[in-house]
Structure 1
Amino acid sequence: MPTFSQFDRRGYTSIDVRTGYGEWSATYERTVEDVMDLALLDRLRSPAWSQVARAADLGCGTGRTGAWLRSRGVVAVDGVDLTPPMLALARRRGAHDRLIEADATDTGLPAASYDLAVSCLMDEHLAELTPLYAEAARLTRPSGLFVLVGYHPHFMMMSGMPTHYRDGTGTPRAITTHLHLISEQVAAGLAAGWSLIEMRENVVDESWLEVKPRWGDFLGHPFTFALVWRREPATDR
């Protein structure tokens, strides 16, 4: 499988996830746009958000996704993140019922307790996808759903742009970035017992250019994607 290092055009100094997001937390809300992920959630035909009693927000960050879920009628949301400063911002936002400092692939949350697991804009930091899909399967009830929104591998390969931010001195820093083809997502989901029921891709369009006017060269290229998975109940064989 290809690696992101083959396509990296920026050459920024790369740092680990916990350190990077700890530094980025001060400006994160001003640099991550809703059109990247929340706009994709809006376009999904499933889940029926208002019918979700409890959701697990994996890699919850500052609480953006949790707040969006609550605004769509999800009754309760528990969040997990690896970075204390991001969790502090999520706590201030107040959208989650419970916030836990833990890895999204090993949350410590109770098994089979959620109707929905959600992961937004974090899978590119995982060297392997299987643990994330397995943890989402462990957390959800039979017939539960898992929604993953991620950076599109096409865009990562075409642009050579890692997940990055500017530190307090204005120096750009990359956060450890891994390239995962869509086929890897499908293989990991199927291996964990999920069935893919929906996929959407977010293409750079005129609305994107209103937010990122310098991205004219990327017009028409897919930038992010969303996958919706259903957990199939166990059957006797």
Structure 2
Amino acid sequence: MPTFADFDRRNYNTVDVATGYDGWAPTYERTVLDEMDLGLLARLRVPVWDRVERAADLGCGTGRTGGWLRERGVRRIDGVDVSEGMLELARARGAHTSLRRADVRATGLPEGAYDLVIASLIDEHLPELGPFYTEARRLAAPGGRCVTVSYHPQFMMVTGMPTHYTPEGGAPVAISTHLHMLGEHLTAALAAGWALTEVVEAVVDDAWVRAKPKWAELRGHPFTIAFVWSRDGQS
């Protein structure tokens, strides 16, 4: 299978995930647009957000996803992240019921406790997807769902752009980035016991080009993708 290194055009200095997001935390909210992930969540047919009693927000970051879920009526949200800098911002936002520093592949959260397991824009930092989907399956209650939002592999291959940030007064820094084909998601999730319920994709459109004029040549290319997985196979 191809790796991100086969397509990387930037060759930035690369750091591990915790170090990278600690460094990015002060400017993260100014550089990430809702259309990347929250816009996709809003397009999903399921889950019905206000029926979710308890959610596990894996890779919760600054609490953007948790805040979005709270606004839509999710009652309890437990978040985990490997970056203490991001967790500090999530605590300040106040959307989560609990927050802990942990790996998304070994969260320490209770087994079978969650109607919803959600992870947004984190899988590119995982060398393999199997451990993530297995942990998500462990956390899900009967009838539970898993929602993931990812950078589309086609976008990563076309642009050769790693997840990165630019510290004030410094050079761009890449955060360890891995390429996962769509088939890898299917194989790993199905092996973990998930059934695919829904897929929604976002493309680079006029709104994106207005926000990032340099992306004009990418108009029409897929950008991000959301998967909805079901623990028990219901639609």
Shift of 1:84: 0.4
TM-aligned CA deviation for residue 214 of structure 1: 1.8
Superposed CA deviations along residues 143-171 of structure 1, whole A, max 9, x for unmatched, are 10000001000000011000000023231
Structure 2 equivalent of residue 230 of structure 1: 230
169-178 vs 182-191, which deviates more? 169-178
Q: Which amino acid aligns with 1:46?
A: V
Aligned-partner SS, 2:26: coil
Match of 1:184 in 2: 184
- The residue aligned with 1:124 is 124
Letter aligned with residue 198 of structure 2: E
> What residue is the counterpart of 2:220 in the other structure?
220
- Once residues 29 and 213 of structure 2 are traced to their aligned partners in structure 1, the CA distance between those partners, rounded to angstroms, is 19
| Corresponding residue number in structure 2 for 1:7 | 7
**2:39 corresponds to which residue?**
39
Taking the aligned partners of 2:167 and 2:3, their CA distance within structure 1 comes to 25
Q: What 5-or-longer segments of structure 1 have no aligned partner? A: none
Q: Distance between the aligned counterparts of 1:208 and 1:41, measured in 2?
A: 17
Q: Give the equivalent residue in structure 2 for 1:196.
A: 196
Task: Provide the TM-score with structure 2 as the length reference.
Answer: 0.98
Letter in 1 for 2:215: W
Q: What per-residue deviation string (whole Å, max 9, x for no partner) do you get for residues 56-93 of structure 1?
A: 00000000000000111111101000010100000000
Partner of 1:53: 53
AA paired with 1:171? A
Match of 1:109 in 2: 109
**Structure 2: distance between partners of 1:91 and 1:210:** 33
| Counterpart code for 2:108 | G
**2: distance between equivalents of 1:210 and 1:118?**
29
Q: Which moved more, 1:128-137 or 1:165-174?
A: 165-174
Q: Counterpart of 1:83?
A: 83
* CA distance in structure 2 between the partners assigned to 1:191 and 1:153 by the alignment: 21
Question: Which structure 1 residue ranges, 4+ long, deviate > 3 Å from structure 2?
Answer: none
- Report the residue type matching 2:184 in the other structure: E
Q: Residue by residue, what CA displacement relative to the aligned partner does 1:18-76 show, whole Å, maximum 9, x if unpaired?
A: 10000000100000110100000000000000000000000000000000001111111
* 2:144 alignment partner in structure 1: 144
Whole-angstrom distance in 1 between the partners of 2:118 and 2:210? 28
- Opposite residue 187 of structure 2, the aligned amino acid is A
1:144-183 equivalent positions in 2, closer than 5 A: 144-183=144-183
Q: CA RMSD in A?
A: 0.8
Between the aligned residues of both structures, percent identity stands at: 59
Once residues 229 and 40 of structure 2 are traced to their aligned partners in structure 1, the CA distance between those partners, rounded to angstroms, is 15
Q: Distance in 2 between matches of 1:184 and 1:19?
A: 27
Q: Deviations over 1:83-134 (max 9, x none)?
A: 1010000000000000010001100000000000000001000000001101
Q: 3-state DSSP class of the match of 2:143?
A: strand
Aligned residues: 233
Alpha-carbon distance in structure 2 between the residues aligned to 1:141 and 1:80: 18
The SS at the match of 1:147 is: strand
Q: Which amino acid aligns with 2:52?
A: V
